[in-house]
Structure 1
Amino acid sequence: MKLSILMPVYNEEARLADALTQALDVKYTTDIELVVVDDGSRDRTAEILRGVQDPRVRAIFHERNQGKGAAIRTAVENATGEYLVVLDADLEYDPNDIPRLIQPVLDGHATVVYGNRTFGSHSSFSFWYVMGNKAVTTAANVLFNCYIGDLETCYKLMPVALYRSLNVSSRGFGMEAEVTGKLLRRKVRPYEVPISYRARSREEGKKITWRDGVQALWILLRERARRPGAIQLPTGVIPRP
């Protein structure tokens, strides 16, 4: 099994070098590649990427900023692994948790694995950020009659073929809700494992806003309202609870 770690970056010159080092220093239980997409950064992000010599890193550059969803779509198109997971370059997530996401797949217990964050005083950006995340997650649980703990988590591990089949169109942060909504419509319920998390502040570059929460709710409603149709999983992808 080969894992494609997808890293969308935008104006992350202060953190990118550390993010790459942390991701590459992990002792993975599978082969990996790190597909980094610079989404039209205006700082030294592209320069830093071009200086990386590790053969496991593949850098792709957008000429202009298109949004996180668009950057991930480009990364998915270029991924060569059987499975993928997204890792932001903002140092909020610990790459050492990625092997924990892989293990349920290797053990045959899951096809899709989410990293579930536990929010506390040291790990939350703000009260309203946490409440917004809980509201969006609760909406998904009500709409699709399921129970997941953290819809907006960056850590969503799944087969590359499955992600491609979802045809995710959201260009910004709404891709998190779209991915989950489309998975739940297909009766694919994520297996969740606990992960560590440390939110950065707005001053440190936090980009998500309340508008993204409203958009996520709209996307979930849209996906729930779609006609079920003939739901097909990609060849070789076996849904497990």
Structure 2
Amino acid sequence: MKLSILMPVFNEEARLEEALKQALNVQYPCDFELVVVDDGSSDRTAEILRRATDPRLQAVTHPVNRGKGAAIRTAVEHTTGTHMVILDADLEYDPEDIPRLLRPVLDGQIDVVYGNRTFGSHSSFSFWYVMGNKAVTTAANILFNCYLSDLETCFKLMPVELYRSLAVKSKGFGMEAEVTGKLLRRGIRPYEIPIAYRARTREQGKKITWRDGVEALWILTRERIRKPPKPVAATKPEQP
């Protein structure tokens, strides 16, 4: 097993160096790589990545900002791992939790693991952010008759080939709902493990808005009503 940690970055010069340091210093229970995609940043992000010389780090650049979903798609194209997990560069998530996500996968218990955030006074910047997350997650539970606790979590660990097979099209934050909707539609129920979380504020650079919540609801509904793909008919071999 080789883990690919995928880090989309957009204008995170204040936090990027620490985010890279934290991700690279964790004692993972398997081989790993860190694939960073600079998604068209206009600050010093590119300069910071040029100075990073760790051989476990691979940096890719988008000339213009294309969104989180597009950045992850590019990262997946460059990964060499068997499994992947997404880690934002905003320091809201603690990479020390990743080995805990890996444990049930390494034990052969499950293929897909989500990090479940427990929101409290210190871990969310607003009441409406938490309510929005709960609303989107509840919608997924109703639509797919399941019981997830945190659909919008960044920590989604799964085999790379499984992610590729989902063919995620959303360019922005809607990719979180699309990934989950497509997994649930296939009957794949993510295993959830509690993780640490500390949200930043708008002033600190929080980017997700209520529009992303509306988009997530639309994506979940679309995935629920979408017709399953038609099975490919087997072809008979030609007779000599």
Q: Same fold (TM over 0.5)?
A: yes
What is the aligned partner in structure 2 of residue 146 from structure 1? 146
State the Cα distance separating 1:133 from its structure 2 match: 0.2
Cross-structure match for 1:58: 58
1:79 counterpart letter in structure 2: T
How far the C-alpha of 1:109 sits from its partner, in A, is 1.0
Distance (whole Å) between structure 2 residues aligned to residue 8 and residue 229 of structure 1:
30
Separation (CA, whole Å) in 2 of partners of 1:152 and 1:231: 31
Superposed CA deviations along residues 75-130 of structure 1, whole A, max 9, x for unmatched, are 01111100000000000000000000100101111100000000000001200000
Kindly indicate whether residue 169 of structure 2 is the aligned counterpart of residue 169 of structure 1: yes
> d(CA) in 1 for partners of 2:194 and 2:93?
12
Letter paired with 2:39: D
Tell me how far apart the structure 1 counterparts of residues 132 and 101 of structure 2 sit (CA, whole Å): 25
Gap change, CA 1:156 and 1:231, over 3 Å in 2: farther
For residue 229 of structure 1, report the CA deviation from its aligned partner. 3.1
- 2:125, 2:169 → 1: CA distance? 27
Structure possessing the higher radius of gyration over alpha carbons:
2
Gaps of 5+ in 2: 233-240
Aligned residues: 232
Per-residue CA distance 1:56-85 (angstroms, 9 max, x = gap): 000000000000000000001111100000
Structure 1, residues 163-219: CA drift from partner, whole Å, max 9, x if none? 000000000000000000000000000000000000000000000000000000000
Equivalent residue, structure 1, for 2:195: 195
| Alpha-carbon shift at residue 17 of structure 1 (Å) | 0.1
What is the match of residue 15 of structure 1?
Answer: 15
Mapping 1:65-104, distance limit 5 Å: 65-104=65-104
Query: Secondary structure at 1:138's aligned position in 2?
Result: helix
Q: Which amino acid aligns with 1:216?
A: A
- Rounded to whole Å, the distance in 2 between the matches of 1:14 and 1:109 is 39
Q: Identity of aligned pairs, percent? A: 77
**Amino acid of the structure 1 residue aligned with 2:87:** L
Residues 16-41 of structure 1, C-alpha deviations (whole Å, 9 max, x = no match): 00000000110100100000000000
The answer as to whether partners of 1:70 and 1:170 remain within 8 angstroms in 2 is yes
Q: How large is the Cα RMSD of the aligned pairs?
A: 1.0
Contact kept, 8 Å, 1:186 with 1:231, in 2: the verdict is no
Q: Match of 1:237?
A: none
Alignment partner, residue 29 of structure 2:
29
Segments of 5+ residues of structure 1 without an aligned counterpart are 233-241
- Separation (CA, whole Å) in 2 of partners of 1:223 and 1:49: 37
In 2, Cα distance between equivalents of 1:47 and 1:231: 48
Question: AA paired with 2:197?
Answer: Y
Once residues 15 and 142 of structure 2 are traced to their aligned partners in structure 1, the CA distance between those partners, rounded to angstroms, is 37
Confirm or deny that 1:40 pairs with 2:45: no
Seen in structure 2, the aligned counterparts of structure 1 residues 153 and 24 have a Cα distance that, compared at 3 Å, is same
